[in-house]
Chain A
Amino acid sequence: MRLPSLFRTTAFRLTLLFLALFAAAAAAFLAYIYVATAGEVNRQADTEVQRELVSLKTVYAQGGVDELNRAIIERAAGEKPFLYLLMKEDGETISGNIAETPVEPKTAPEARAAFRVRMTDPDGNVVRRSAWGRQVKFDQGELLFVGTDVGEARFYVIRLVRAIWGAGVLVIVLGLGFGLLLSRNVSRSMAGLNAVVAEVEKGDLHARARVRGVGDEYDELAGGLNAMLDRLERLMGGLRHAGDAIAHDLRSPLTRLRARLEAALIEVDRGEIDPTQALEQALEDADGVLKTFNAVLAISRLQAAGAPDQQVFDPADLGTDIAELYEALCEDKAIDFKAEIARGLSMRGNREFLAQALSNLLDNAIKYTPEGGAVMLRVRSRASGDIEFSVTDTGPGVAETDRARVVQRFVRLDNSRNQPGVGLGLSLVAAVAEAHGGRLELAEGPGSYQGSGPGLRAALVFPPAG
């Protein structure tokens, strides 16, 4: 049964709260209407009674008690009569259409009273109705009570109050129903999200929430949850991949190192080789292992935590520094080096990581460009405002089908097997680009050049600062 949990939902609780507020407001409203209308009925009755009293006082003043007595008898027989009771000073009835005065004590000289009166309606039924009246005392000691029937007016007030009550009950019932419906809808929306969270908690990172496309806050939450899970999955994948990669890539050099040490031990033992040479080779192997390890670690950290210590700087300064650093290397290899650096740009990033990335691109370019080729470093602003660092070479380039692959860790294309390196350079460049909200774009170079080509154009594209 879903109902009990339904009652616990926030939507339902809010509905209850609003209904309670509504009921309180309605009760206050009713009380006010009741007091106001009931008071008005009595006030109006009182005015009429007083007017009648004034009229009867005039009669008394002109003709004394006898004339008054006659007037009362006359008027009591009229249509829609007042209620009269004329009494002697001691309260004994002289005339009137009610049996006794409702005033306490009966001989009070000046009093008002709300009371109920027994009456016979036109059909002969005896009914009790509300009434209102005043009692006065004349100069000679006679007492006169005049009242009027307010039953009819009251009746309307009561009907009005009942109608409002009924409407209130209807609203509350409808509100409760609507609240239940609402909270069931909300629960249903939340149930999907909760199911995804439960799945993920159980360890299934592939679970995704359904986005219904309505664009409401649940869709927004589902979208956010999915984006979070995507990133989490990528990170977990990255971590697992990094772990695998480290294990895989460290295993072979470590095995090599171990084998070399073992062989060296035997050979040194037999006096066949120089121990220093063996140790130097081992040291070199160990350094290679460390280099790989550091690169994989740097990539994982960049992917997990982004680039640390970002500052705003002029990319031209970085470009100039790196160009100067690598120009000599190009010259040494008889490669034509050119740098085109736009000034006055501004970007935000970690200078060390960006230098490392540019250095990796230039290292690659120089490594694969044959003698007599050309390498160009360019720093400029794109039409979109993005900052672009590009390195173009005239080496063999990377086939379009391989471009996505060379960025992956430890991927080395067949024609690079005889070159030094472990296949982490471009992965690190891509990780640096992504850690700065940018990207690495690989494209074809300038085409055939000095018998080589088509070359590679690697561009780091970053959003501008601010």
Chain B
Amino acid sequence: MRILIIEDDTQAAAAMAKGLEDAGHESQMAEDGLAGLNAARDGKFDVLVVDRMMPKLNGVQVVETLRREGDQTPVLFLSALGEVGDRVEGLKAGGDDYLVKPYAFAELIARVEALSRRRETGSVSTVLKVGDLEMDLIGRTVHRAGTEIDLQPREFQLLEFLMRHANQSVTRTMLLEKVWEYHFDPQTNVIDVHISRLRSKIDKGFPRAMLQTVRGAGYRLEA
């Protein structure tokens, strides 16, 4: 995957590039908004990681310009500003996700990968399949190896998200944001409890556990 990092803090950008490289992605860096905009126009990137505050052109201006020109490359905003208003502003400008500094690499990589995946699965399918797990989005049913699994509505949403991002790490924060649609920071790991409930439903009694815990990152649904 090719990722463009538009960030004026070159040390942070280099560390990020290193982290992405270790995760198997190729990245290019731009030091300011204008250079970033030009690079984004020229190159074919799968995801843009854009800092909010930069010299020449700020992140929001870069993304607004790209969107006006019809460029729909997924954008992950990075910002030291953690307030809700900033997040809303970033998403309104055409950003697809928002990450507050300082962040964990695992979080960054999980979100970047989730963004690129979103574009790949552009087609509308009514059935999701991961390994022997099958989800019927219309009938709201889930089967594993032919056995029906009974899920609560929220468990269904949680599994749907995991299936859409199968074989990718997803973090607890991402789950709270995308499944529950809250952006706060719980003191305890409430998400873990929900995951373990789901796990007991989809993995119990099957020879192989699909829902894996990724140390220091979150969870991964493996095919």
Contacts and interface: CB of A to CB of B under 8 A. Distances in A.
Interface of A: 280, 283, 287, 290-291, 294, 297, 301, 308-309, 321, 324-326, 328-329, 331-332, 350-353, 355-356, 359-360, 363, 366-367, 420-421, 425
B186 to A, nearest CB: 5
B193 A332 contact: yes
A321 B188 contact: no
Nearest to A318: B182
Nearest to B154: A324
29 contacts: A280-B216, A283-B216, A287-B104, A290-B102, A291-B185, A297-B82, A301-B83, A308-B84, A309-B84, A325-B180, A325-B182, A325-B190, A325-B194, A326-B190, A328-B193, A329-B190, A331-B193, A332-B193, A350-B84, A352-B184, A353-B84, A353-B184, A355-B182, A356-B184, A356-B185, A359-B187, A360-B187, A363-B188, A425-B187
A356 B184 CA distance: 5
Contact of B184 (A287, A301, A359, A425): A359
B183 A352 contact: yes
Nearest to B198: A328
Contacts of A328: 190, 193-194, 197
Contacts of B85: 308-309
Interface string B174-200: 000000101111111010011011000
B54 to A, nearest CB: 22
Nearest to B153: A324
Contact of A363 (B102, B186, B196): B186
Nearest to A366: B188
A309 B88 contact: yes
Given A287-B104, A329-B193, A363-B187, 11 more contacts: A308-B85, A325-B182, A328-B197, A332-B193, A332-B196, A352-B182, A352-B183, A353-B84, A355-B182, A359-B186, A425-B187
Given A308-B85, A309-B85, A325-B180, A294 B190 contact: no
B84 A352 contact: yes
B153 to A, nearest CB: 9
A283 B102 CA distance: 12
Contacts of A359: 184, 186-187, 190
Contacts of B194: 325, 328
Contacts of A326: 190
A301 B104 CA distance: 24
Contacts of B185: 291, 294, 356
Interface string B102-119: 101000000000000000
A287 B194 CA distance: 23
Select the residue from A326, A328, A352, A360 with max chain B CB neighbours within 10 A: A328
Nearest to A307: B84
Nearest to A298: B82
Nearest to B82: A294
A329 B188 contact: yes
B206 to A, nearest CB: 22
A451 B183 CA distance: 37
A233 B116 CA distance: 50
Contacts of B102: 290
Interface string B81-107: 011110010000000000000101000
A129 B187 CA distance: 109
A313 to B, nearest CB: 13
A420 to B, nearest CB: 8
A356 B190 CA distance: 13
Interface string B131-159: 00000000000000000000000100000
B77 to A, nearest CB: 17
B193 A421 contact: no
6 nearest interchain CB pairs? A356-B184, A328-B193, A363-B187, A308-B85, A329-B193, A355-B182
Nearest to B88: A309
Select the residue from B82, B154, B187 with max chain A CB neighbours within 10 A: B187
A352 B154 CA distance: 19
A291 B102 CA distance: 10
Contacts of B197: 328
A367 B154 CA distance: 24
A329 B196 CA distance: 10
A328 B88 CA distance: 30
Contacts of A420: 187
A331 B216 CA distance: 25
Contacts of B184: 352-353, 355-356, 359
Given A308-B83, A308-B85, A321 B180 contact: yes
A321 B83 contact: no
Contacts of A321: 180, 182
A303 to B, nearest CB: 14
B157 to A, nearest CB: 11
A367 B190 CA distance: 12
Interface string B65-92: 0000000000000000011110010000
Nearest to A324: B154
A259 B184 CA distance: 31
Contacts of B216: 280, 283
Contacts of A280: 216
Given A308-B85, A321-B180, A352-B182, A367 B188 contact: yes
A316 B197 CA distance: 25
Interface in B193-214: 193-194, 196-197
A113 to B, nearest CB: 92
